[in-house]
Amino acid sequence: MNARREVRLWVAQRLTAFVLAACVTVHLATIILAVRGGLTAGEILDRTRGSLALAAFYGTFVVAAAVHGTIGLRNIASEWLGWRGPAADLVLAAFALGLAGLGFRAVWAVYA
């Protein structure tokens, strides 16, 4: 495998871990504050509908999770199963796109 590519994937996974840590913290804090404030899930959704800022936040969350998770699965497939090369990359790229698609579907459901 190309050493530069491995370094780029390593950096991407570390950057997405940082983004995920921030997103999870904000997400959980928001949920805790909303629930402690007495809001129901329906009331929360009513307040989030049409918020471009929240859609962008959760869109970022989705991209970070899809990239981070796929790189991790790639490493597991390589180390544990010995699965490397273009076929593995293609399957994992399809997985990433599917995961991102499901995530964006959820973002759209909250936004629209």
- What tens digit of pLDDT does each residue of 96-108 get? 999 999 999 999 9
- What tens digit of pLDDT does each residue of 2-16 get? 889 999 999 999 999
Burial of 74 (0-12, 13-18, 19+ CB in 10 A): buried
- What tens digit of pLDDT does each residue of 61-105 get? 999 999 999 999 999 999 999 999 999 999 999 999 999 999 999
| Assigned fold of 3-111 | 3 helical TM bundles of succinate and fumarate reductases (1.20.1300)
d(CA 72, CA 4): 17
Helix axes 3-36, 52-81, angle to 10 degrees: 130
DSSP letters, 75-88, are: HHHHHHH---SHHH
pLDDT confidence bin for 41, thresholds 50/70/90: confident
Instruction: State pTM to two decimals.
Output: 0.89
d(CA 103, CA 109): 10
